[in-house]
Chains A and B, each alone.
Chain A
Amino acid sequence: MKKLLTGVAAIALLVATPVLAHHSFSAEYDATQPITLRGTLTKMDWVNPHGWLYIDVRQPDGKVVNWAIEAGSPNSLIRKGLRQSDFPIGSEVVVDGYRARKGTSSAIGTSVKFADGRNFFLGAPADAPPSKP
């Protein structure tokens, strides 16, 4: 657990701190409900300050549920030269994060990894300190 959390923190240090929406974590998400989701990218809302990814996740009972994942800031990815086309629909995605408090199929991602190793969060300059909470 400790190791995992250190990893999460390390990722977070590189997260783009978006210009807007510096709001409380607990308003929307439940820190007691960490979650890991594996699925297929079905849609990407390339919106700011936080982008949204939608992934189809196959449940143990075989049913497929579409999850909405709040992710990093597209503007910081754009400034790194990445574009929406770099994250094609149908890509396999592994998301670590926390579930929404409302119990809907949505979560905030602390890590959104694509099969090629890219993390949707790594859009900020590598040396950007999280100085604007």
Chain B
Amino acid sequence: MRLLLAALVLTISASPAAAQWLDWKTPGVPRTADGKPNLKAPAPRGPDGKPDLTGIWQQTGRPDARPSPDVLQPWVRDLAAKYQQEFFKARPTYACRPAGPEADGYEGWKRIVQTPAAIVIMAEDLTYRVIHTDGRTLEADPAPSWAGYSVGHWEGDTLVVESNGFNDKTWTSRYGVVHTEKLRVTERYRRTDFGHLHVDVTYTDPGAYMRPWGFASDSALEADTEMLEAVCEKSSDSWGSLSDIEKSSVTVPPEVLAKYVGVYTGPYGGGRTFHITLEDGKLIARIEGTASGGLGAAGLDPGAPTPLVAQTQTLFDGLGISYLFVADDKGAVNEFVLMHISGAYTFHRVR
């Protein structure tokens, strides 16, 4: 632990060599008396009097863009369940293809450049969108494309963007929700003040959804820095599937399973509480409430139970996330370690 702290101190004390692009002061940013960007100043306006969305933005929080299963036509719901069995490895961004209209495409950093005739949104994965604001309307029969075709108009201080012409190779939700070429996306952008951008997104697709659904995304201005590229270079081709987990499962005696039953809290997902229960001889995990990112058995049902499949006497797999139960010196189990691709998170028993 001492070594770890030493490492931490060492890293933090490694200061940037010189003030370069990453801390270049963005010109034109209103500042408070101490020189910091005043993100609560009024939103800037262009020569046409409309709000100017230009700037570098980073999404704050992470909306859980997951449609209720009854929003989806049965074939879309079935596909989502199939994709979950494969750890969603067919997801376009996991396979290093463009996110297109996918909800998670609003995540991360974006650079918006606004001119009177067009607004360009550049993403860190080197994809871009053009939103035409020169009065043109959507084409009736566009050639399908990854980014679609977008036109925008102002309703007061809200930029309303309509898009069509998407190919059917992208998803709308990372939970395996596909769409057809009939997809229409409506976005309503509002720069509420200098430092904050809100967008409401609605997906409409008579070929895939029973009714429109959507989500909201908030971003904060990233002043005095630069956007860095983040390009997918390693695709999901080599991933396994849930059936591999089943194949490698082992039997754990009921009295051992019973020791793991309880309620645990920990930091994964911004703070979560798990209820671990034993039902019909099987260990089950449930997330308390409707936690963002929590996966139920069908991928789209956050409140549903997650079966825990034993890989060893202490290690279980719950739909792609590993749960390692840890006994103390006296054999009492008071914590588990949740393992995700982003790291390991310790959960402590609360009852």
What is the interface of chain A, defined by CB distance below 8 A to chain B?
1-2, 5-15, 17-29, 31-32, 45, 47-50, 52, 75, 78-83, 86, 98, 100-102, 108, 110, 113, 116-119, 122-123, 126, 129-133
Contacts and interface: CB of A to CB of B under 8 A. Distances in A.
B240 interface: yes
B326 A20 contact: no
A23 B108 CA distance: 16
B11 interface: yes
A20 B3 CA distance: 30
A10 B4 contact: yes
A23 B267 contact: no
Interface of B: 1, 3-4, 6-8, 10-12, 14-17, 22, 62, 87-89, 91, 93-94, 107-109, 124-125, 225, 228-234, 236, 238-241, 244-245, 248, 267-271, 293, 311-312, 315, 317, 319-322, 324, 326-328, 337, 339-346
A18 B8 contact: no
A106 B190 CA distance: 45
Contacts, number: 186
Q: Is the interface of A mostly helix, strand, loop or mixed?
A: loop
Contacts of A11: 4, 343
Contacts of B293: 22, 133
B240 A101 contact: yes
Nearest to A75: B228
Contacts of B8: 14, 119, 122, 126
Given A102-B238, A110-B343, A130-B345, A24 B230 contact: no
Given A117-B7, A132-B62, A23 B236 contact: yes
A117 B321 contact: no
B173 to A, nearest CB: 13
A33 B298 CA distance: 28
B20 to A, nearest CB: 10
A86 B94 contact: no
Identify the 8 closest CB pairs spanning chains A and B, nearest first: A24-B320, A12-B343, A81-B16, A48-B230, A27-B87, A31-B322, A19-B108, A131-B270
A38 B293 CA distance: 35
Residue with the highest number of chain A CB atoms closer than 10 Å, among B232, B322, B327: B322
A4 B302 CA distance: 32
Nearest to B316: A31
Contact of B244 (A13, A86, A101): A101
B239 A27 contact: yes
A14 B5 CA distance: 11
Given A2-B326, A7-B4, A25-B320, A116 B230 contact: no
19 contacts: A2-B328, A5-B344, A11-B343, A12-B344, A23-B239, A24-B87, A24-B340, A25-B321, A25-B339, A27-B87, A31-B311, A31-B322, A75-B228, A79-B225, A81-B15, A81-B16, A117-B7, A126-B8, A132-B62
B324 A47 contact: no
Given A117-B6, A130-B268, A31 B236 contact: no
Nearest to A102: B238
A78 B228 contact: yes
Nearest to A5: B337
A32 B320 contact: no
A23 B93 CA distance: 11
A15 B6 CA distance: 16
